């Protein structure tokens, strides 16, 4: 039964991953996520239902549009597959409990931000607000009042810390060092983790982002990279590995 449920969450993740591509591409452009129907980015051909099957359509069509025969970006099946795998892993780790919902929210937020921040350098406020509210509901209703209150406090702390980091960075480098979306994003991360663990996501995100930043600087002369996806990768890593303060203490004392 556990295997059956795991496959179910994989399929569910693939479907949501396809939808999250739409959300991530359209919201930053202030477009509706409902209409018009999805189309080929090269020839504007309206896609049929069988051309929208997550991952499988890409494989069956050999990575090309059926109408204009131009290549479809690997970005689409990658985000779909990543969502499916992380949904399945979330279920496998947490089973059916409130932490499963929080994990799914983190993964969902991560995928949307990967799409929106990498392509437009924007983290839509609507998405940050939506997933923050969903986490707060889970904490207060499915867990308990004290847990929810502590999570809110953690979110405020992380928002404040990130805001101060931005002010210091702007003062030192004489330019904008962090976007407003990243600061609001830390409120969400604070809701999902203890403040100390939330701070750790900044270091993990920075470590993951560093080689990417170096590559883009050397190869493409890009001086700024979107930081949101890396922060949420750190968030997902800590939450899915169930890293806690006791584990950190043990690692520091060794």
Residue ranges per domain, the chain?
1-96, 101-254
* 73 closest CA partner among 82, 64, 60, 81: 64
- pLDDT, averaged per 10 consecutive residues of the chain (254 residues), comes to 92 97 94 86 82 91 86 94 98 95 98 95 95 97 93 96 89 78 95 95 92 80 82 96 78 65
| Residue 36: per-residue pLDDT | 83
pTM of the model: 0.93
The CA–CA distances, whole Å, from 18 to 30, 117, 215 equal 19, 17, 29
Residues sharing a CB contact under 8 Å with residue 155, sequence separation 6 or more, in sequence order: 132, 187, 188, 189, 190, 191
């Amino acid at each position: 039964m556990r295997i059956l449920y795991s496959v179910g969450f994989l399929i569910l993740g693939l479907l949501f991953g396809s939808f999250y591509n739409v959300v991530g591409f359209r919201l930053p452009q202030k477009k509706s996520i409902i209409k018009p129907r999805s189309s080929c980015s090269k020839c504007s051909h309206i896609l049929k239902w069988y051309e929208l099957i997550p991952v499988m359509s890409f494989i069956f069509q050999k990575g090309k549009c059926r109408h204009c025969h131009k290549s479809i970006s690997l970005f689409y099946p990658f985000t779909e597959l990543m969502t499916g795998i992380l949904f399945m892993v979330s279920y496998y780790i947490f089973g059916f409990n409130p932490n499963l919902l929080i994990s799914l929210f983190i993964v969902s937020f991560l995928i949307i931000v990967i799409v929106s921040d990498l392509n437009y350098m924007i983290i839509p406020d609507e998405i940050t607000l939506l997933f923050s509210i969903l986490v707060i509901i889970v904490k207060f209703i499915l867990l308990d009042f004290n847990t929810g209150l502590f999570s809110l406090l953690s979110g405020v702390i992380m928002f404040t810390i990130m805001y101060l980091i931005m002010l210091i960075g702007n003062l030192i480098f004489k330019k904008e060092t962090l976007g407003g979306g990243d600061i609001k994003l830390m409120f969400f991360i604070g809701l999902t983790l203890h403040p100390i663990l939330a701070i750790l996501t900044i270091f993990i995100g920075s470590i993951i982002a560093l080689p990417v930043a170096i590559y883009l600087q050397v190869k493409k002369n890009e001086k700024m990279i979107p930081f949101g996806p890396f922060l949420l990768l750190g968030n997902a890593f800590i939450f899915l590995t169930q890293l806690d303060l006791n584990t950190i203490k043990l690692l520091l004392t060794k």
